[in-house]
């Protein structure tokens, strides 16, 4: 079985040489354990933070140890009656071909949706979009909503959820004209902005002359600054991610217009999806219905083979993906 280890802590943008693929033998599962052949691996932006030294809300990757992350796979040997061979399960021992782990895993119902959906729209990223727009920066009837990294895993779902929650106008931003177009054609946005075309504050003011009520921030930096300038009184901002600065070797300057948040009585609220698993069952039920009736559209960017895992991660961080980025293990 092959697994990816972190070989060196990246400085700035990670390099392929910061990772190494290691081959180990697979052990039989003892009582209470299962052996899973991973079929799908998830790569996610929060993994960049785990590559750095130091405390975070999730343990860092250790040098010379197999990396971890969400994965789904098939049980190929079982020491637990409740998780028989052939079950499809979700767990956290990603970045590897085979995973030996305690049988206390989530068994997935693949009649409702394909297994990999549980890594995206029915998994952590879908729940992030839903929790952010219902609990952190709740959308109300008639709101104008802005979402950044809107063509990504979280963002491509967030726009559609905002609409269901009653938003009157949903604006997204993404990198490049092709993605900006897909926001409107595929992911239910009213307006798609291409931030790479420049003057994001100007583009945003033109898109929302009436102002923004809710900003779902996946990007931080220049996007947060632009949104603050356009927010309405009592606006709500979900601080979900700050991908524009995850690779910074030096701390970035803060938004220089933060005092605007005072006069506008804006609520800026950080979120961690880990706080919201109490609503996961309800959300999955709803999202499954929406997927089955075709009203929720999703996209995946899939790379084939364990060898491509690092490439998949790096490409996603640079924006080469649309929708959820996954590695498929044949
Ligand atoms: P995505 O699928 O959205 O992939 C990341 C995207 O970020 C890229 O596709 C790219 O899109 C965009 N991006 C990269 N660099 C920049 C930049 N400098 N400026 C603007 N956009 C950039 O990833 P996810 O959907 O998995 O995650 C989205 C965000 O949500 C991340 O910030 C992540 O950390 C956060 N998150 C937070 C959670 C929480 O609990 N707080 C849980 C899950 C995710 P483009 O081509 O448009 O530039």
- pLDDT on residue 244: 97
| ipTM tops 0.85 | yes
Residue 43: inside a domain, yes or no?
Answer: yes
Same domain, 251 and 155: yes
322 within ligand 1 shell (Cβ under 6 A): no
Domain final position from 238, 259, 274: 274
Angle at 80 between CA 79 and CA 81, to 5 degrees: 125
Residue 56 confidence (pLDDT) above 80: no
Same domain, 75 and 110: yes
226 Cβ neighbours under 8 A, 6+ residues apart: 200, 201, 204
- Number of residues that make up the chain: 330
Residue 249: inside a domain, yes or no?
Answer: yes
Mean pLDDT in residue range 235-255: 93
Residue 58: inside a domain, yes or no?
Answer: yes
Residue 111: inside a domain, yes or no?
Answer: yes
- pLDDT on residue 135: 98
The number of domains in the chain is 2
Ligand 1, atom 34: closest residue by C-alpha? 241
Closest CA to 284 of 118, 90, 72: 118
Residue 290: inside a domain, yes or no?
Answer: no
* 2-6 and 19-23 strand pairing: antiparallel
Q: For residue 269, which phi and psi values (nearest 5 degrees)?
A: -130, 125
Q: For residue 239, which phi and psi values (nearest 5 degrees)?
A: -85, 95
Residue 145: inside a domain, yes or no?
Answer: yes
Same domain, 94 and 144: no
CA 15 to ligand 1 center in whole angstroms: 19
- pLDDT on residue 302: 98
Residue 225: inside a domain, yes or no?
Answer: yes
Same domain, 96 and 152: no
User: Cα-Cα-Cα-Cα dihedral of 162, 163, 167, 168, to 10°?
Assistant: 150
243 within ligand 1 shell (Cβ under 6 A): yes
Token duo for residue 318 = 């640079």
**Paired residues of 239 in beta bridges:** 217, 270
* 300-304 and 324-328 strand pairing: parallel
Query: Residue 142's domain spans which residues?
Result: 124-274
Same domain, 31 and 95: yes
263 Cβ neighbours under 8 A, 6+ residues apart: none
Same domain, 200 and 216: yes
- pLDDT on residue 225: 97
**Paired residues of 35 in beta bridges:** 77, 100
- pLDDT on residue 254: 84
152 within ligand 1 shell (Cβ under 6 A): yes
312 within ligand 1 shell (Cβ under 6 A): no
pLDDT digits 0-9 by tens, 159-177: 999 999 999 999 999 999 9
Q: For residue 90, which phi and psi values (nearest 5 degrees)?
A: -115, 140
271 within ligand 1 shell (Cβ under 6 A): yes
How many alpha carbons fall within 13 Å on the CB side of residue 45?
A: 23
CATH number of the domain residue 55 falls in: 3.90.180.10
Atom of ligand 1 nearest to the CA of 242: 32
47 within ligand 1 shell (Cβ under 6 A): no
Same domain, 265 and 231: yes
Q: Which of 150, 172, 241 to mutate to test the pocket of ligand 1 (most atoms within 8 A of CB)?
A: 241
321 within ligand 1 shell (Cβ under 6 A): yes
14 within ligand 1 shell (Cβ under 6 A): no
Same domain, 29 and 141: no
Same domain, 46 and 19: yes
pLDDT digits 0-9 by tens, 250-281: 888 889 999 999 999 999 999 999 999 999 99
Domain final position from 259, 274, 289: 274
**Rounded-to-integer distance, Cα 123 and Cα 120, Å:** 5
Same domain, 149 and 71: no
Domain final position from 274, 291, 311: 274
Same domain, 151 and 94: no
CA 130 to ligand 1 center in whole angstroms: 16
Give the DSSP per-residue string, 262-285: HHTT-EEEE--GGGGGGGHHHHHH
Residue 175: inside a domain, yes or no?
Answer: yes
Q: Which of 45, 132, 173 to mutate to test the pocket of ligand 1 (most atoms within 8 A of CB)?
A: 45
- pLDDT on residue 7: 97
DSSP state of 169: E
Q: For residue 100, which phi and psi values (nearest 5 degrees)?
A: -105, 120
Q: Is 181 exposed, middle or buried (0-12, 13-18, 19+ CB in 10 A)?
A: middle
What's the pTM? 0.98
- CA distances to 46, 100, 123, 318 from 61, rounded to whole Å, are 12, 18, 22, 21
**Rounded-to-integer distance, Cα 98 and Cα 83, Å:** 16
CATH number of the domain residue 229 falls in: 3.40.50.720
Atom of ligand 1 nearest to the CA of 243: 32
Same domain, 134 and 249: yes
């Amino acid at each position: 079985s092959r697994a990816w280890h972190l070989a060196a802590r990246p400085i700035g943008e990670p390099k392929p040489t910061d990772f190494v693929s290691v081959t180990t033998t697979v052990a039989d599962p003892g009582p209470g354990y299962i052996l899973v052949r991973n079929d799908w691996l998830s790569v996610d932006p929060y993994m960049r933070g785990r590559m750095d030294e130091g405390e975070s809300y999730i343990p860092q990757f250790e040098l010379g140890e197999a990396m971890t992350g969400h994965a789904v796979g098939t049980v190929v040997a079982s020491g637990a009656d409740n998780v028989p061979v052939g079950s499809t399960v979700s767990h956290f021992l990603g970045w590897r071909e085979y995973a030996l782990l305690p049988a206390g895993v989530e068994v997935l119902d693949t009649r409702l949706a394909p297994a990999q959906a549980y890594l995206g729209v029915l998994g952590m990223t879908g729940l992030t979009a839903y929790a952010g727009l219902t609990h952190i920066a709740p959308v109300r009837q008639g709101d104008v909503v802005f979402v950044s990294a809107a063509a990504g895993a979280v963002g491509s779902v967030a726009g559609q959820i905002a609409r269901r929650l009653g938003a009157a106008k949903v604006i997204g931003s993404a990198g490049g004209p092709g993605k900006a177009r897909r926001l409107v054609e595929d992911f239910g946005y009213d307006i798609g902005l291409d931030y790479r075309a420049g003057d994001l504050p100007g583009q945003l003011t033109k898109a929302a002359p009436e102002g923004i009520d809710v900003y779902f921030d996946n990007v931080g930096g220049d996007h947060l600054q632009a949104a603050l300038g356009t927010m309405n009184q009592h606006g709500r901002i979900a601080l979900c991610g700050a991908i524009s600065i995850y690779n910074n070797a030096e701390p970035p300057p803060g938004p220089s217009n933060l005092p605007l948040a005072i006069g506008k009585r804006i609520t800026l609220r950080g979120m961690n999806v880990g706080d919201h698993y109490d609503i996961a069952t309800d959300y999955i039920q709803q999202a499954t219905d929406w997927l089955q009736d075709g009203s929720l559209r999703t996209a995946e960017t899939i790379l084939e083979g364990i060898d491509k895992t690092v490439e998949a991660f790096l490409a996603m961080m640079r924006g080469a993906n649309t929708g959820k980025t996954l590695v498929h293990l044949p």
